[in-house]
Structure 1
Amino acid sequence: MPAIPDADARGASTVVIERLGSKGDGQVRIDGAWISVPRTLAGEEVRIAFDGDQARLLEIVTPSPDRMIPVCPHFDRCGSCSLQHLSDGPYRTFKQSLVINALKSRGLEPHVEDTWVTPPGTRRRMSLAARRTKAGVQLGFHSRRSHDIVDISTCPVASPEITRKLSALKELAAPLAPLKGEMVLKVTAMPNGLDLHVTNTATFAAPHDVMMAG
């Protein structure tokens, strides 16, 4: 049944999340349109504030039994992961349903095996953004639907070979990151160390700094 917003004096509404969208956002249908509510799960009663066709989560009134505490300390701000708050079994089912529904939309109904989930700490490739600010260099991922960079100190998804070097990568980026825009660091963990590809360095970076970074 479509959830009807009950707006209070501060512009907030209480709704019940009806489903998970394909990108992992909770969704509720209001006036015939699906509204995405990040960091929510199906069946949860939540308070939200509207922002166009998006909604900002204010409070989880009734949490789903499938909800768990995210393992990453940056989860609430970082836009890289979307479902760390969903427990393992429902997560596997959700991922399997994406494949099944995609095949059904093409008129196919083959057997789909259970989802195999990549273990934590095994991602060998990451694309990090770096930007120079008055407070220093930011290094990390973009926040959700934003060009802001979430400065990370760890990443449970990435391999330890990469996470151990985050502070070193930030130090490397310090003389090279631009004042406007951002530098991109593509990092790959290889058997003999990290392979690093850097683009969008500052135009004022001294040749000596570039050489030392290399």
Structure 2
Amino acid sequence: MRSSRRPSRPQRRPQSEAPSGPALEVVIESVGGEGDGIAAGPIFAPFTLPGERVRLAPGGERRDVEQILQASAERVVPPCPHFGVCGGCALQHWEHDAYLAWKVDRLRRTLARERIETEFLPAVAAPPASRRRLALHARPGGRGAARLGFKARKSWDVVDIEVCPIADPALQAALPALRALAAPLFEHAKSAPTLHVTLTATGIDVDITGVERKSGGLSADARMRLAEIAAQGDFARVTLDGEPAYLVRQPMVRLGPATVALPAGAFLQAVPAAEAAMAALAVEACAGADRIADLYCGVGTFTFRLAGVAPVLACDSSAPAIHALNAAVSTAPGVKGIVGEHRDLARRPVLAEELKRIDTVVFDPPRAGAAEQSAEIARSKVARAVGVSCNPATFARDARILIDGGFTLDRLLPVDQFLWSPHIELVGVFSR
């Protein structure tokens, strides 16, 4: 379906960013890394698609769209009424197959900058209504209420959302209760709370950050109100920067054969189907291994599944995550042995000498990548490696380190876990 929806009215520009050129009519040539259309110049225009002819408002390099004069055949009606105002999604107006092909092409180009070519497996795409994790920003509302949602485009303001088509229906249904939960958090003017919400097997878990603490944090009255609202909303747990504020059920998640008690604020893959696809490829790539190292293992997203293949050494910089992983081993029947170690792999990577008894390594680092650890894997005698990444640029850098050390990147799985955003994740399989 073609869309008649236009982008929202732009925010008032600061004086230093006053318009520097007249209105223009341009043809959009491509879509850039942040999801904006690009015309000759270059000029960047949000919510536009390749081949479209558009009229742009006065401005400089980045401009708002006044009118779409000739729409692309790939333009569709955005499913969310907040699209164009909310900064959470950038690409809901693009037909799915074309949008996904653009993401995969960007990934291919990122690897090419490091002179890397490989086989691309068919991309895994997260469906709508599948996100089990959201980070919702809160701001004061009228009469002691709160506004809750995502930041507006290019603004610190918050769009108070009523629906969210990417979220699991259980999280969307909880939005009113979450908005009520945010109301007691504004005792101090500098508080800018974020509610990190996770849907678990035992209910909704909320970790709240951004509450001003230098002035003493929340008062006893506010904490009591918070607990009362959490009970009314039937939340499993509410924490303030990881500290308990309310607990009626321990949040639990199922990871392969194991049931894990989730630490407050712990990392968890955002979409269960994406997690399952990534883990399935990692397990397949590790078939026949004698001993596996799972580095940056978190609470055991891959560990428990890999331990069905061979004994696993699991390392992560989060002590609570390793504690939860070790505690969950007894819930995982049939695993071949797991040893969890608390270790900062950026400052103290597992050395090549320590990998002598390891023949396969799985690593899933944060966005900064795993340059130090990749260098040790390259120096080692490890036969196979599986890299999981949420940042194609740092993955390409780390892959080049492994390739220069004698590995080949055999195949790669693109994973569109963050639907309608410019971000793409991946799993890469390496061998000597």
**TM-score band, normalised by shorter chain:** 0.7 to 0.9
Residue 177 of structure 2 corresponds to: 168
**Which AA in structure 1 matches 2:198?**
T
| SS of aligned partner of 1:94 | helix
| 2:201 counterpart residue number | 191
Instruction: Describe the SS at the equivalent of 1:175.
Output: helix
CA distance in 2, matches of 1:26, 1:166: 32
- Establish whether residue 212 from structure 1 lines up as the match of residue 222 from structure 2: no
Q: Secondary structure at the match of 1:55?
A: coil
Task: Tell me, yes or no, if the aligned pair for 2:191 and 2:211 is still in contact at 8 Å.
Answer: no
* Shift, 1:109, TM fit: 1.5
**TM-fit CA distance, 1:182:** 1.6
Does structure 2 conserve the Cα–Cα contact (< 8 Å) formed by 1:131 and 1:179? no
**What is the rounded CA distance, in whole Å, between the counterparts of 1:181 and 1:17 in structure 2?**
41
Question: CA separation in 2, counterparts of 1:36 and 1:188?
Answer: 35
Q: Distance in 1 between matches of 2:34 and 2:123?
A: 17
CA pair 137-179 structure 1, distance change in 2 beyond 3 A = farther
Q: Which whole-Å deviations, capped at 9, do the CAs of 1:103-123 have from their partners, x for residues lacking one?
A: 111101212123221011111
What is the TM-score of this pair, normalised by structure 1?
A: 0.88
Q: Which structure 2 residue ranges, 5 or more long, are not aligned? A: 1-20, 227-245, 247-432
Deviation at 1:184, TM superposition (A): 0.8
Q: Which amino acid aligns with 1:163?
A: Q
- CA RMSD, Structure 1 to Structure 2 (Å): 1.8
Report how far residue 143 of structure 1 moved.
Answer: 0.9
- TM-superposed CA distance for 1:53, in Å, is 2.4
Percent of counterpart pairs with the same letter?
37
Partners of 2:191 and 2:56 in 1: CA distance: 32
State the Cα deviation string for residues 145-173 of structure 1 (Å, max 9, x = none): 11010110110001112111100011111
Q: Which residue of 2 aligns with 1:125?
A: 133
Higher helix proportion: 2
135, 148, 158: which one aligns with 1:139: 148
Aligned to 1:95: 103
Q: What displacement does 1:207 show? A: 1.4
Residue 58 of structure 1, aligned match among 54, 62, 66 = 66
* Secondary structure, counterpart of 1:127 in structure 2: strand
Q: Shift in Å at residue 134 of structure 1?
A: 4.0
Within 1, Cα distance between the matches of 2:121 and 2:70?
Answer: 33
Q: Tell me, yes or no, if the aligned pair for 1:96 and 1:114 is still in contact at 8 Å.
A: no
TM-score of the pair, normalised by structure 2: 0.45
After superposition, give the CA deviation of every residue in 1:54-108 in whole Å (9 maximum; x if it has no partner).
Answer: 1111111100000000111101101111111000110121111011111111101
Q: Number of residue pairs matched?
A: 202
The answer on whether the counterparts of 1:68 and 1:87 sit within 8 Å (CA) in structure 2 is yes
1 CA distance for matches of 2:191 and 2:160?
15
Query: Which one of the candidate residues 72, 84, 93 is aligned to 1:76?
Result: 84
Which letter maps to 2:196?
K
The answer as to whether partners of 1:132 and 1:179 remain within 8 angstroms in 2 is no
- What code does the residue aligned with 2:92 have? Q
Partner of 2:347: none
Using the TM superposition, give the Cα deviation of residue 47 of structure 1 relative to its aligned residue in structure 2, in angstroms.
0.8
- Do 1:133 and 1:179's aligned partners in 2 also have CA atoms closer than 8 Å? no
Question: 1:206 offset after TM fit, Å?
Answer: 3.1
Task: Pick the structure with greater CA Rg.
Answer: 2
Match of 2:28 in 1: 17
Q: Look up the equivalent residue of 1:210 and give its one-letter code.
A: R
